[in-house]
Structure 1
Amino acid sequence: MVGGDVLPPSVTGTADLLTANSGPAGLCPDGARPDRVYVTDRYEMAEVCAALHPDKGCVYRVLPEWPLEEGTDNPGLF
């Protein structure tokens, strides 16, 4: 839905986390936090993350509501 919010797994209740599928790709070595929505400014990174969820993976264009900080837990993701 255009204009809707992208919510973290801790709010939506989904058990499908990036951590579960990210091992082979080398993403999230310390695990993804369920209270976060991860975004990137690199389309290629977004494609990789979406491909890790073959049944549900999607790339969304988002407009953050506040400044982003690069995460120390997942370099390249904000």
Structure 2
Amino acid sequence: MFLSIINDSFRLARENVDPHNQQIFSFMLKKFQRWTGLQRITDEEIQEERDTIMRSEYLHPIENFPEKIDQFLDAINR
């Protein structure tokens, strides 16, 4: 029963695919295949995920600016 619900949902999703949502559908399908064990993660994908995490940490330096100023002022006061 569970598989038939999933199968029907994927069928409906494929019928209603909008060109703008193609990326979302492929992302969801890839995650589902990994979760079920039908597809293994390659070394390239692991590195890509690590790069994404690293970029997200350094992408917005303005968000870290107050903390960096506090660290700078603490260093000056020593």
TM-score bucket of the superposed structures, by smaller chain: under 0.3
Higher relative contact order (CA 8 A, sep 6+): 1
Q: Max radius of gyration: which structure? A: 2
TM-score normalized by the length of structure 1: 0.21
Specify which structure has the higher proportion of helix. 2
